[in-house]
Amino acid sequence: MSPDTKTRSWIGWDAPRERFLLTGFLRPGQERTVLLELTARIAFPTVLVLSLYLLFAGHDRAGGGFSGGLVAGQAFVLRYLAGGRLDDSSTVPLRPPVLIGIGLTIATVASFVPLLAGGQVLESAIYKFTLPLLGQIKLVTSVVLDTGVYLLIVGVVLDLLRTLGSGIEADVDAAAREQAR
Amino acid sequence: MLAFVVVHLLVALALVFVARRNTRAAFLVAAVPPAAALGWVLAKSGPVLSGQAVDEVVEWAPAIGLELAFRLDALGLLMTVLVAGIGALVLVYSAWYFHAGSGDARRSAPLLLTFAAAMLGLVLADDLITVYVFWELTTICSFLLVGQAGVSRESRRSAMQALMITSLGGLVMLLGFVVLGDTAGTFRISELVAHPPAGPQVAVAAVLILVGAFTKSAQIPFHNWLPAAMVAPTPISAYLHAASMVKAGVFLVARLAPVFVGVVQWWLPAVLFGLATMLVGGWRAMFETDLKKLLAYGTVSQLGFIMVLVGAGTPTAAMAGATMLLAHGMFKATLFLVVGIVDHNAGTRDVRELSGLGRAVPSLNAVAWLAAVSMAGLPPTLGFLGKEAAFTAYLRHEWVLAGLVVGSMLTVAYTARLLWGAFSTKPGVTPTEVKPVGPGLLLPTAVPAVVGLVLGVVYGVPDHLAAAYASQFGPTTYHLALWHGVNVVLVCTALALAGGALLHAVRFRLAAFRRDLPRPLDAQRGYERVMGLLERVAVGVTGRLQVGSLPTYVAIILLTVLAVPGSALLLNAGVPEDLRFVDNLLQVPLAIVVVVAAVAALRSHRRLTAILMVGVVGYGIGGLFIVDGGPDLALAQFLVETLTLVAFVFVLRRLPAHFSTGETTLRLPKMLLAAAAGTFIAFAALIFSSARQVPPVSHSYLARAEEGAGATNVVNSIIVDFRAFDTVGEISVLAVAATGVASLILASRFERRKRSSRATAVVRQEKQKEEVRD
């Protein structure tokens, strides 16, 4: 049922044909919607930036590592909904469990670093300094812990997509292929 | 001292990479840290033996009173000499024992060093919790070292058995530690020794700790894991199962004996079980045909002997115990390494196949004799000094003395059997072909034996060491010496030697006699029965609790909720006073949306509709958060709700579109339960929020957020600062949960299911074929 089959061409003639999302997996034309793909293409980086904003703004405004991570996760959800098949490991360099592990490691290590500086576990410090162009910057060390949370949440969402999303999709495909035989 | 442990561990980590390239270099590098530790304690031995212990305390979690405390005293010195000295020798030996580049070698080099680190930490620890941590570390290392690659069923089973028995004992011991530390108000061993606590709790603690020591030191009835663990490569057996790990139990008893002086629940089991272990171990060793098993039972026997000595709590017995600890470490390490060489170079360690080795490899024969003389307790060796002291300590207790003498007879007999089995020329057996023994294997083997002899001749040194340890139990006039004159003890020694020689002479008739003996008790069979029972109970419990029905699980959870907090609510319910209709008029439409959506979810027949309605409920709650001024909560609520919705929709692809409407039998109970649970939650939310008795903690958070955490968003400052520990815990749970869910789903993938069903189909077909053939 590829788009260039003559009898079907009138259905899929306006479906985009190039590889669009990074997965390298091309869906059959009927399962694609141009509008969603376009939206995903435009929104994906924007949403990621927004998630980073939430991560750093969290200390003073609404947001934080948890919300930021969830927003970044939603960006991937959007990408999956538009493009499908996210878990093509050859194109995604970091597999979700690795991401989860990195997040947990960062959070755990960050909680012990204050010990080296003579503080207590999970103590945070505040640094203020001035950067050219950006003006005064206030850096609270707890943002490192928050970054760990962020990465872990992104990993969890990606893991969800890998298993419940493309995992089930692949499953359905495999079952259908089996039945066709 | 902590630094030594840490360096051991760091080098072990680096060894993983060294061992990939060159295993021999890895073993030689691994020998350096133990050698350095040995050098350090020997340098410190002067002040330590004159009573000035070296203390070191590292507080690592002072808030909950946890610290790593270390103390180098006479006993610590003695054990470090064993652990580090024999460790270094075994590692050098291993460099030539293991086939270069083999998987076992690559695994063993870092593991052995890790084990040495744990052992060093254990023998130097001065804090009960520190002891426990290192104790279990040795257990884990032992599991990995015995199991090796786990390719053979026997090695897996033996490793598992060692792990099960020793870790079970470890847990019981931890309980004892907690009772002891709690009673005394301190976990520091030196303080416990200085001010021994009293009372019935101390007796309980004594028994619990003894259980841990018995399992680790392979005392009856836990002794069977030690002979089973002989599947490990010989250097590992020499180190773990002769010189160090199995000594941990007797070491612990020796370490804590001053705390329990005069506690009958402490010394009586130690002496009784120790004596029984000595006799049973010696008896079994006399009939083993596998040289390694023979040594293993010999070790069991010797550990029982040492247990009798260190558990007693009298100065002379303590001196004998310390001497025997050292002596046994020396001669048993050598003998294990000798058996390793025999196995390695002759290709077998079966008594019935070996012949003529004594003439073929005279150097090895000589080394073995040297160690065996010490094991049999002949002068002028360390073993002789220890045994004389032991007999002296129990001169007034005839029954124990008789037991010790009989045990020593058995020791002499199996020593003779070992030498006869390994080196003699047996009539009717073709002489075994044996490769020449290189210095790399022979030198590390010979060193402990020579040390055992030298310390026997220069008996002032071990006397000084043992007296320094025994001084905790009171003054003693006894001194280790080669000649105390003609007395009862000398007669006992002569009796042991003569009896042992006699037993060896009649060994064949004795074996025939033993075959006819009934054997009502067998520790190995007992262990297997207990394990089998455990598995059956586990299967039964799991089968009844995990019925595989989601409604059942939900019902159990809801019933529990209704029964426990629900009944509390019913009993103590009071209507809150400051009940208001609304805080903000916007709440009204939002509440209506939530209620309508909830009802719609209940009424819907399609799964997708229900999920969407549940989503609407969630978004409505998020809206309420905004109205109440919690933008952070609302943001998180919206995001989580969206994600949940997406996840549900993903799953719905695999489920039927409509809810099943088939069976209606349990409909009413289900409805009632659901309604009750819903009502409970509603009332709980209403009443719990007004049941506050102390001022809310949020005030202090609000006040301190700005200067304490540098945050103007108090929610975030709670998450990453005030309650950051909770956050770390939560994300750990999240990581585990996500991984678990992913594994479950990936494990049930279609491709996998197909493969496994195909595999079972193939098996079934094969079986059918076989049946047809039959």
State pTM to two decimals: 0.74
Cβ within 8 Å, pair B731-A104: yes
| CB within 8 Å: B719 and A107 | no
Contact A168 B746 (CB under 8 A): no
Task: State how far the Cα of B145 lies from the Cα of B244, in Å rounded to an integer.
Answer: 14
Neighbours of B386 (CB within 10 A): 29
Shortest distance between the Cα of A162 and any Cα of chain B, in A, equals 8
Nearest to A108 among B710, B711, B728 (CB): B728
**Which DSSP helix (H) or strand (E) runs through A129?**
strand A126-131
Q: What would the pLDDT profile of B158-181 be if each residue is shown by its tens digit?
A: 999 999 999 999 999 999 999 999
Length of chain A: 181
**Burial grade of B256 (CB within 10 A; 0-12, 13-18, 19 or more):** buried
pLDDT for A1 equals: 44
Report the pLDDT value the prediction gives residue B773, as an integer from 0 to 100.
Answer: 56
For residues B257 and B195, is the Cβ–Cβ distance under 8 A? Answer: no
- Indicate yes or no: CB of A164 within 8 angstroms of CB of B735: no
| Euclidean distance between CA atoms A67 and A73, whole angstroms | 10
pLDDT band at B366 (very low <50, low <70, confident <90, very high): very high
> For residue B380, is the peptide bond before it cis, meaning its omega torsion is within 30 degrees of 0?
yes
Question: Among candidates A83, A84, A53, A85, which has minimal Cα distance to A69?
Answer: A53
- What is the pLDDT at residue A20? 53
Residues 6+ positions from B570 with CB-CB distance below 8 Å: none
Say if the Cβ atoms of A59 and B727 lie within 8 Å.
Answer: no
Q: How far is B548 from chain A (nearest CA, A)?
A: 20
> For B432-453, how does the pLDDT look when each residue is reduced to its tens digit (9 = 90+)?
888 888 888 999 999 999 999 9
CB within 8 Å of chain A, chain B residues 705-744: 709-713, 715-717, 719-721, 724-725, 727-728, 731-732, 734-735, 738-739, 741-742
> Which of A147-151, B492-496, B555-559, B702-706 shows the lowest mean pLDDT across its residues?
B702-706
pLDDT at A8 (0 to 100): 57
pLDDT at B236 over 80: yes
Query: Can you tell me the mean pLDDT for B203-207?
Result: 93
Whether the ω angle into residue B362 lies within 30 degrees of 0, i.e. cis, is: no
Give the pLDDT confidence score for residue B384 in this predicted structure.
93
Residues of B in contact with A64 (CB under 8 A): 632, 713, 715-716, 719-720
A168 contacts on B by Cβ (under 8 Å): 650-651, 653-654, 745
Contact: B749, A62; criterion CB under 8 Å: no
- Which residues, other chains included, contact B377 with Cβ-Cβ below 8 Å and sequence gap of 6+? B383, B384, B386, B387, B388, B408, B411, B412, B493, B496, B497
Whether residues B746 and A163 touch (CB distance < 8 A) is answered with yes
Task: Give residue-wise pLDDT tens across range B71-89.
Answer: 999 999 999 999 999 999 9
Q: With contacts defined as CB-CB under 8 Å, which chain A residues touch B727?
A: 107, 145, 149
Judged by CB atoms within 8 Å, which residues 69-108 of A form the interface with B?
A: 70-71, 73-74, 77, 81, 96-97, 100-101, 103-104, 107-108
State how far the Cα of B309 lies from the Cα of B271, in Å rounded to an integer.
Answer: 8
- Joined together, the tokens standing for residue B258 give 């001053």
Residues A111, B653: C-beta atoms closer than 8 Å:
no
For residue A124, what are the CA distances in angstroms to A54, A95, A118, A152, B80?
19, 30, 12, 20, 41
CA distance B602 to B616: 13
Q: Mean pLDDT over residues B395-421, rounded?
A: 92
Q: How confident is the model at residue B412 (pLDDT cuts 50, 70, 90)?
A: very high
Which residue, A22, A66, A17, is CA-closest to A44? A22
Yes or no: say if B531 and B228 are a contact pair by the CB < 8 Å rule: no
Rounded to the nearest 5 degrees, what angle is found at the Cα of A74, between the Cα atoms of A68 and A79?
135
Q: Which residues of A touch B650 (CB under 8 A)?
A: 160, 164-165, 168
Q: In this predicted structure, what is the pLDDT of residue A88? A: 52
In one-letter notation, the amino acid at residue B740 is G
Confidence check: pLDDT of B281 > 90: yes
Q: What is the pLDDT along chain A (181 residues), one digit of tens a residue?
A: 444 455 556 666 666 555 555 455 556 666 677 788 788 888 888 999 999 999 988 877 878 889 999 999 998 888 888 877 655 544 456 788 899 999 999 998 888 888 777 777 777 777 777 877 777 777 778 888 889 999 999 999 988 888 888 777 778 778 888 888 7
Q: Is the ipTM of this complex over 0.90?
A: no
Classified as helix, coil or strand, B289 is coil
- Alpha helix stretches (DSSP H) within B82-152: 87-97, 103-124, 128-147
Report the 10 Å Cβ neighbour count for B674: 14
| Run of H or E residues at B744 | helix B724-747
Contact check, Cβ <8 Å, B654/A149 = no
Minimum CA–CA partner of A128 in chain B:
B710
Q: Does B652 touch chain A (CB under 8 A)?
A: no
Alpha carbon distance B683, B570 (integer Å): 10
Mean of the pLDDT values across residues B300-316? 93
Q: Is the pLDDT of residue B768 over 70?
A: no
Residue pair A122/A109 in contact by the 8 Å Cβ criterion:
no
Q: Tell me how far apart the alpha carbons of residues B202 and B213 are, in angstroms, rounded to a whole number.
A: 16
Cα radius of gyration (chain A): 21
d(CA B238, CA B566): 60
* Helix H or strand E segment including B59: strand B54-61
Query: Is residue A153 within 8 angstroms of chain B, CB to CB?
Result: yes
pLDDT digits (tens, 9 = 90+) for B721-747: 788 888 899 999 999 999 998 888 888
Torsion region of A76: left, alpha or beta (phi above 0 gives left; psi -120 to 50 gives alpha): alpha
For chain B, what is the largest distance between any 2 Cα atoms, rounded to a whole number of angstroms?
106
Task: State the Cα–Cα distance between residues B407 and B375, nearest whole angstrom.
Answer: 12
Give the nearest chain A residue to B738 (CA atoms): A156
Inter-chain touch B728–A100, beta carbons under 8 Å: no
Q: How many CB atoms lie within 10 A of CB B552?
A: 12
Instruction: Select the residue of A77, A142, A167 nearest B720 (Cβ to Cβ).
Output: A142
Question: Which two three-digit tokens encode residue B385?
Answer: 């000094």
For the CA atoms of B429, B435, B440, B441, the dihedral, rounded to the nearest 10 degrees, stands at -20
The set of residues, in sequence order, having a beta carbon less than 8 Å from that of A104 and lying 6+ positions away, is A148, A152, B731, B732, B735
CA pair distance B600, B94, nearest whole angstrom: 73
Mean pLDDT, chain B, whole residue set: 88
Instruction: Give the rounded distance of the alpha carbon of B283 from its chain centre.
Output: 28
Q: How far is CA A106 from CA A129, B420, B506, B678, in A?
A: 24, 61, 69, 40
Q: Which of A59, A70, A71 sits opposite B716 (nearest CB)?
A: A59
Does B336 or B660 have the greater pLDDT score? B336
Contact criterion met (CB below 8 Å) for B100 and B23: yes
Distances (CA, A) of A10 to A2, A32, B6: 12, 15, 72
Judged against a pLDDT cut of 80, whether residue B3 lies above it is answered with yes
Residue B550, pLDDT score: 84
Could you say which residues from 245 to 274 on chain B have a Cβ atom under 8 Å away from some Cβ of chain A?
A: none
Lookup: tokens for B402: 């008789």
- CB contact burial B217-246 (16+ within 10 A = b; e otherwise): bbbbbbbbbbbbbbbbbbbbbbbbbbbbbb
CB contact under 8 A, A164 and B651: yes
Residue B539 contacts A, CB cutoff 8 Å: no
Q: What pLDDT score does B711 carry?
A: 72
